[in-house]
Structure 1
Amino acid sequence: MAAYDCEVLVIGAGIVGLSTAYAITRAAPGTRVVVLEKESGPARHQTGRNSGVIHSGIYYPPGSLKARFALQGSAEMVKFCTEQDIPHEVTGKLIVATDRSELPRLHGLIQRGREHGLPVRELGPAQIAEYEPEVRGLAAIHVGTTGVCDFGAVARRFGRLAEDAGARIRYGSEVTAIGRRPGRVAVRTSDGTVHRARALVNCAGLHSDRIARLAGDAPGMRIVPFRGEYFTLAPDRASLVRGLVYPVPDPAFPFLGVHLTRGIDGAVHIGPNAVPALAREGYDWRTLHPAELAGTLAYPGSWRIARRHWRYGAGELHRSLSRRAFADAVRRLLPAAREEDLLPSPAGVRAQAVLPDGTLVDDFLFADSPGMIHVLNAPSPAATASLPIGREVARRALEVVGA
């Protein structure tokens, strides 16, 4: 064992990486785990930059990993937050149809919710007003198991519990090289430190495909970053929204559209839209990394997305560049919203896996190779489902090390 610094190396201290470390220490106490994170703390990217919603699982097709993990994970997340005294609230949410063309999709969601065993209730306009007096729609469904929490706090707790059980988390440790031999993986970080392990888990999120290639694997996809821009309702207008209000999603595009979310802090967050980011961590239009952008533009899947979804994308881009256009989109659900009510809020970037033919990977995507487990696509509801996802990745890693 002297040849190894640990049994399992985890790259990435977002909520999935830290949940994996926590799950390993629970499933196989004494297993040595090291988490490497390039930032100075946990949850700096997707985990800490989202609307904080504990998703019910209603959107996801039966049999998909998203459905299985979200249905299980939402209940587990509420239980974990309760046990760990992390602020959270089960609020329920409305999914609202504002146009007649959306009604068939809304009815399809009702059926799917019932298939999943979720508490769903169909609402007419008067019943919508009982939940949300300022929201307007032709029909809606209420999903009782949706909630909100602080996923950054959850990730930090996963990390603390893993460390209490013996795991080590190394911040400021960017991975620069990966080598592998039968039964052994070696990783060098930016400060020159070399970590040797029996298994490597790639939970690098926005950089997951790059880490896979660095390890010598061909991931068969590429991360194309999409920025989600948010606004916050001005404090004196926050009373316009009581809870969570979503539009009926467009199944042709794997984004849920601009929604209204009263977070655990009481503020009402509005968004996100979805526009191509000019860098993997491009949280505004000013952030441009030429090499990353060139990689995105050189990827055939990027152009196929653009051709397939140009009309949708043009609308998103318009809303990104015009607060008035964004406010118009909000008013479909919340007529009383005014342009001046929308205060800029920090953006997030979604690590969207895209196949070479332009298909946007809509489910979780894992790939195993000798000594390695790659988490290549973990979009929403990954935070909601982080406990069962962490156990699944931990199971694969422990099989590699024979624990």
Structure 2
Amino acid sequence: MFDCDVLVIGGGIVGLSTAYALTRAAPGTRVTVLEKEHALASHQTGRNSGVIHSGIYYRPGSLKARFAVEGAAEMVKFCAEWDIPYEVTGKLVVATAREELPRLHALVQRGRENGIPVRELGPAQISEYEPRVRGLAAIHVGTTGICDYGAVSRRLAESSRARILYGAEVTVIDRRSWGVAVRTADGRVVRARVLVNCAGLHCDRIARLAGDDPGMRIVPFRGEYYELRDPSLVRGLVYPVPDPAFPFLGVHLTRGIDGGVHIGPNAVPALAREGYGWSVVRPRELAGTLAWPGSWAIARAHWRYGAGELRRSVSKRAFTEAVRRLLPVVSESDLRRADAGVRAQAVLRDGTLVDDFLIREAPRTVHVLNAPSPAATASLPIGREVAGRALARL
């Protein structure tokens, strides 16, 4: 009667980590993954800067803090075990203005509460790590690294031995007492005992198709990147001091596993859930975002911040100004456009930006409703958590 025991919607790193954890925790469990694209990790997983985050930013005791700290160590071990390119580089978080110093000191305390080694630096010590970076003070976080999350995703898929169906966009979900039946756009029907929703940018839509009210909406934010023409200007990873009022880390410098240096991202509203440029507009998705009260609450509360991000989106000069706060030697001609990404940010009805990972359960179903960065770093612990909940429903 069943085509599989657990059906996972979404072939990004969280869905694949869940499939991997299912087959490791319960060998013999039949797992199928539905991926609407014709390749794995096509969206958030494959369109980020490849950072293995330390977990320093996240509230102690939160899922993000726990899973990022665990996940960073596990990701390094996983990459080493499977010969996937990675490097534990460490990173600098740099204060460039006096008003940022209290936030930097608070970040030191948060790091220590999360069990993360942190070293405080003065201006001269900053230059020892990054000769061309300038700041009033900084911290060095030794457990940050970089890797190739696309390669990690492919290895997770191979190791899980899950059946993966490509080009399988979900259009209908029929949940009954006996299990779940899912129909895809090309007419395929897959029956499973339990459904796991790891659909990322489309997770709220999948939850509603299953008959559940997720209580949130995905509001897509595009992150735009440049890359340095001369990557020798930066040795490793350099971040500004984040503003705790926002879930975004600000424009930062990231040396990738390929040796190139990405700069960004900013955070601007995307006009489609997969809106990787201003020219990509999907009216139905845009209308859904505009109809959600939380979207307007965000706009009212953060319009000044948003205006600055929009300015940096349309003006290379403005973007360069933001970069020069950390790297004064850089000029507009040093930057060239790189591929953008889109963050699937869960927003509540009142405009609250969901800060932590959000996993909810329903009959025969587990929904992952908020898993943006650092989800790639934390994917192995997230996968175990979701797999455990799914197996409890078998």
Match of 2:143 in 1: 145
Match of 1:259 in 2: 252
- Quick one: distance in 2 between partners of 1:183 and 1:22? 25
- The share of aligned pairs that are identical, in percent, is 78
CA apart distance, 1:9: 0.2
**Which of 281, 285, 296 is the matching residue for 2:278?**
285
Match of 2:211 in 1: 216
CA apart distance, 1:280: 0.2
Match of 2:309 in 1: 316
**Which of 153, 156, 160 is the matching residue for 1:155?**
153
- The 5-angstrom pairing of residues 116-127 of structure 1 reads 116-127=114-125
CA apart distance, 1:135: 0.2
**Which of 179, 184, 192 is the matching residue for 1:184?**
179
Amino acid at match of 1:212: A
Match of 1:233 in 2: 228
CA root-mean-square deviation: 0.5
CA apart distance, 1:206: 0.1
Residue 341, structure 1, aligned to residue 331, structure 2: no
Query: SS at the partner of 2:393?
Result: helix
Amino acid at match of 1:219: P
- Quick one: distance in 2 between partners of 1:114 and 1:174? 44
- Quick one: distance in 2 between partners of 1:29 and 1:116? 33
- The 5-angstrom pairing of residues 53-132 of structure 1 reads 53-132=51-130
CA apart distance, 1:193: 1.1
Amino acid at match of 1:142: H
Write the deviation string for residues 237-280 of structure 1: whole angstroms up to 9, x where unpaired: 21110000000000011100000000000000000000000000
- Quick one: distance in 1 between partners of 2:63 and 2:280? 33
In the alignment, structure 1 segments of 5+ residues that lack a partner are none
**Which of 281, 295, 311 is the matching residue for 1:302?**
295
In the alignment, structure 2 segments of 5+ residues that lack a partner are none
Write the deviation string for residues 174-231 of structure 1: whole angstroms up to 9, x where unpaired: 1110001113100001111111111000000000000000010000000000000000
Amino acid at match of 1:344: R
- Quick one: distance in 1 between partners of 2:160 and 2:178? 24
- Quick one: distance in 1 between partners of 2:373 and 2:231? 25
Query: SS at the partner of 1:122?
Result: strand
Match of 1:379 in 2: 372
Query: SS at the partner of 1:278?
Result: coil
**Which of 11, 22, 25 is the matching residue for 2:23?**
25
Write the deviation string for residues 272-295 of structure 1: whole angstroms up to 9, x where unpaired: 000000000000000000010011
Amino acid at match of 1:297: L
Match of 2:392 in 1: 399
Residue 43, structure 1, aligned to residue 36, structure 2: no
- Quick one: distance in 1 between partners of 2:344 and 2:76? 25
CA apart distance, 1:60: 0.5
- Quick one: distance in 1 between partners of 2:202 and 2:82? 30
Match of 1:271 in 2: 264
Amino acid at match of 2:206: I
- Quick one: distance in 1 between partners of 2:296 and 2:243? 21
- Quick one: distance in 1 between partners of 2:247 and 2:333? 29
Amino acid at match of 2:4: C
TM-score, normalised via structure 1 length: 0.97
Amino acid at match of 1:111: Q
- Quick one: distance in 2 between partners of 1:61 and 1:366? 17
Match of 1:12 in 2: 10
Aligned residues, how many? Answer: 394
- The 5-angstrom pairing of residues 159-178 of structure 1 reads 159-163=157-161, 167-178=162-173
CA apart distance, 1:98: 0.2
Write the deviation string for residues 50-85 of structure 1: whole angstroms up to 9, x where unpaired: 010000000001010000000100000000000000
CA apart distance, 1:28: 0.4
Match of 1:136 in 2: 134
- Quick one: distance in 2 between partners of 1:48 and 1:278? 20
- Quick one: distance in 1 between partners of 2:232 and 2:318? 22
Query: SS at the partner of 1:77?
Result: helix
Amino acid at match of 2:149: F
Match of 2:196 in 1: 201
Match of 1:332 in 2: 325
Amino acid at match of 1:322: S
